[in-house]
Amino acid sequence: MKIICAKNHEPGAREMRAVYAQSVVKLIEAGEPVLVTDADLMRAIGVLPYKEKYPDNIFDCGIAESNMIGVACGLSAEGFIPFTHSFGTFATRRVMDQVFMSGAYAKMNVKMLGSDPGVCAALNGGTHMALEDVAMMRAIPEMTIVEPTDAVMVEDLIPKIAHTYGMFYIRMCRGKAETIYEEGSEFDIGRAALLREGGDVTIIAAGREVVEALQAAALLEKEGKDESANYEFSGGVFSGSCRGASGPDGADRHTGQVRRSRPGRRAQGALRSDGGGHRRRGPEGRLQKVKRECIGQCPV
């Protein structure tokens, strides 16, 4: 993990969707068994220009998101690395059963992208605003949630996600995002990046809200607080990542969170969880099994 913070946070020159498209195409060109599927939104996510050149790797499944997930799970069972895409609402709510049963329960290797989550949908309206996608995906065993902050993070994480076996939900905006990291930054999935030190307040954010958290820290500093500590997550949230978020004497700082969607109990639960139940497949693709005993019998 190598973090190089940008000196200013102006919108980047590259759109997030363009970087995503270029990243998966690079994997295809490198000979990786990557297949890209979409639900009639190929132009919206930037992969349409590459479809003609790579017709055997890029597919449009039409406005049939649940079927797309089923197709992706089948491709995974055959040894491919499928990426799927739709808007955040349709990438989660509409496909829940297929994601759970065909994907997580069957321990498949599918990378799901939900674009414009939270209120990023803007003029598309409330029907396209995924406010509960994180809560739903966190409830699924084997699922890892990743929310890239800017184009630099997208470019670094997409290959790592492709090379990490398991179910992934990636949530990100499609347009240009404020630059938080300089080129050359490297990230670890599931590990927090400390963007600035502090002694009084800890602010935890992900995705587009990281820039808001940094602005909040600057305001708190003006009010006399001892520079807020800002944590940014590039993957699943584990309390181990935040154990350093305490004062020098071990006393807890005030901790806050910044999200695009409702600041409900789901994020609080994520922060309180110690990640003890999280199991991933190893390099050989074998699941680290957890032995369980069934006490008593289930009623008929």
Q: Give residue 249's identity as a one-letter amino acid code.
A: D
Catalytic residue among 15, 29, 32, 65: 65
In 3D space, the residue among 66, 58, 109 whose CA is nearest the CA of residue 86 turns out to be 66
List CB contacts of 205: < 8 A, sequence separation 6 or more: 212, 213, 230, 231, 232, 233, 257, 258, 259
* Alpha helix ranges (H) inside 111-150: 133-138
Gap between the Cα atoms of 270 and 257, Å rounded:
11
* Active-site residue, 65 included: yes
The 3-state DSSP class for residue 57 equals coil
Which residue is it, tokens 């690395």?
Answer: 81
H helices present in the chain, as ranges: 16-29, 42-45, 48-51, 65-77, 88-92, 96-98, 133-138, 151-162, 210-222, 265-272
3-state class percentages of the chain: helix first, strand second, coil last, to nearest 5? 35, 20, 45
- Please state, in angstroms and rounded to a whole number, the distance separating the CA atoms of residues 81 and 71: 12
Which residues are known catalytic residues? 65
